[in-house]
Amino acid sequence: MSTTTTASPEATATGHPRRWAALAVLMIAGFMDLLDTTIVNVALPAIRDDLGAGYSAVQWVAAGYTLAFAVGLITGGRLGDMYGRKRMFLLGMAAFTAFSLLCGLAASPEMLVGARVLQGLAAAMMIPQILSTMYATFPPAERASAGGLFGGIAGLASVAGPLASGVLVENDLFGLGWRAIFLVNVPVGLAALVAAAVVVPETRSDHAIKPDLRGMTLVSIALLLLLVPLVQGRELDWPVWTFVSMALSAPVFALFIWSSRGRGMSALVPIRLFRSRGFAAGTTLAGLFFACVAAFFLTYTLTLQVGLGFTPWQSGLTSLPFSIGTALSIVPSNALVTRFGRYVTTAGALVMAVGLVFLLTTMDAGVGFWDLAPWLLICGIGMGGVIGPIFAMAGADIAPRDAGAASGTLNAADQLGGSVGIALLGVLFFNALGTTPDASAYLSGFSSTTWYIIGALVVVSALSLLLPRRLTAEQLSQVH
């Protein structure tokens, strides 16, 4: 998306007078979205028991949100550029709040999955406006500080999500059980909606790119043709239509690429960006890496709670060392990029893989928090080494005029990777459980799935060698 705005020259030079108040409100929305991607995993066993959900519904509750968010993200940003970022933010926030209420009131697994998809689409309308508005209302000298605050909120959400979910579910707040993790969004969303209407200024692009609705439709169809049979196939005993559907996804993807080639930078995913080897490798790397992360946390949480009998609070607490490790390493890894370049990401992926190997040697029926903590801390440190530099490194060779499109594509890739990882590795995990799973079945399923994740992380480390060799401090500041 473009970063050119209709702000006055004075506002561009000195910043909008309400910019810090606006940023505070926008960060609430960012926190809500990031929290929703992490808070659900811990509550999945409770959702499964209360609604009588099958394993496929559990996968859709986790993957439906990120899939809808990934598909709608770029279009949401372009709509903000065209029609006003404040306007689209308010619409997105109102929809996100309403669909959070619908999630909390869900009476069936199908209703919850549908509400989660709608919630993801609302987030795709809301979230792109945050950074665009920040860029438009802050002067260049303050953008790094504002971006750092937003990054801090992202780190806080990753820590708070599992812990908040554990507290809300285990303490059965107002007798709501798992529903509280969604209903808590309603008062917060309403308050943020009122505050945003007052303090967030309206901005839009002078050179907005129209949404590529045809491209969004094609990629949505292709993804559904692939993911629906992957998630549903096991429970249906793999009927013929599941294989036909997966086979059809390939030509629809090809049609999407063909359609994109003729639309230039107005395409949903501009093909010319992939002429950069670093960007092509970085996009693939981001998708594969976040597929690993999403699949790991789904299988890890279910193994702890359903297989080993951890409470929701205990399960959420075990994720804390992972989040701490990520927070500790993400800032230094950004600094190290200027000296060691792509090898920071190479090392980060391998460190995470090593942490998972040692975690597997620890997992047994009697495992506790302190047995898991050191290996999860190492995994988190490795993750920070990947996600810190990857977006900067992937965009290093992209021209400034294409930076918005590149950023949107990379962010969509990591969300899409999470959805595909949950669907694909979920098949392996749930197949290993059998019909009457016990603790040993869950441990076996978790082990086999995690070994695939470890292998994928080794591939991530190899792909990182296709990223630019070095990144100067000036390039790093331009990308961020």
Note the pLDDT tens digit of each residue in 440-472.
Answer: 999 999 999 999 999 999 999 999 998 877 665
Which of the residue ranges 22-36, 340-354, 358-372, 439-453 would you say has the lowest mean pLDDT?
A: 22-36
Q: How far apart are CA 135 and CA 407, in angstroms?
A: 14
Residue-wise pLDDT tens digits, 10-47: 345 566 778 888 888 888 888 888 777 778 888 888 99
Taking residues 322-351, report their average pLDDT.
Answer: 85
Over residues 352-377, mean pLDDT: 94
- Look at residue 138 in the predicted model and tell me its pLDDT: 80
Mean pLDDT of 431-447: 88
Mean pLDDT over 73-92 rounds to 90
pLDDT in tens, 224-276: 999 999 999 888 889 999 999 999 999 999 999 998 887 777 888 888 888 88
* CA–CA distances in Å: residue 258 to residues 48, 193, 247, 254, 262: 41, 40, 18, 6, 7
CA-closest candidate to residue 159, choices 43, 296, 29, 326: 326
* The CATH number of the domain covering residues in 1-211: 1.20.1250.20
Sorted by where each begins, the domain ranges of the chain are 1-211, 221-262, 271-480
CA pseudo-torsion sign 73, 294, 345, 325 = positive
Q: Of how many residues is the chain composed?
A: 480
Task: State the DSSP code for 312.
Answer: H
341 SS3 class: coil
- How many C-beta neighbours within 10 Å does residue 207 have? 9
**pLDDT range class, residue 122, cuts 50, 70, 90:** very high
1-211 and 271-480 share one fold: yes
* pLDDT at residue 435 in the model: 73
pLDDT digits (tens, 9 = 90+) for 188-216: 999 999 999 999 998 887 777 888 889 99
Residue 145 has what pLDDT? Answer: 64
Residue 2 in this model has a pLDDT that exceeds 50: no
Compute φ and ψ for 396, nearest 5 degrees: -65, -35
pLDDT at 474: 52
Average pLDDT (434-443) is 85
The answer to whether 282 touches 410, Cβ cutoff 8 Å, is yes
pTM of the model: 0.86
- Judged against a pLDDT cut of 80, whether residue 399 lies above it is answered with no
Mean pLDDT confidence for 327-352:
85
CATH of domain 271-480: 1.20.1250.20
Average pLDDT, the chain: 85
**pLDDT-based confidence at 6, cuts 50/70/90?**
very low
Report yes or no: 2 and 207 within 8 Å, Cβ to Cβ.
yes
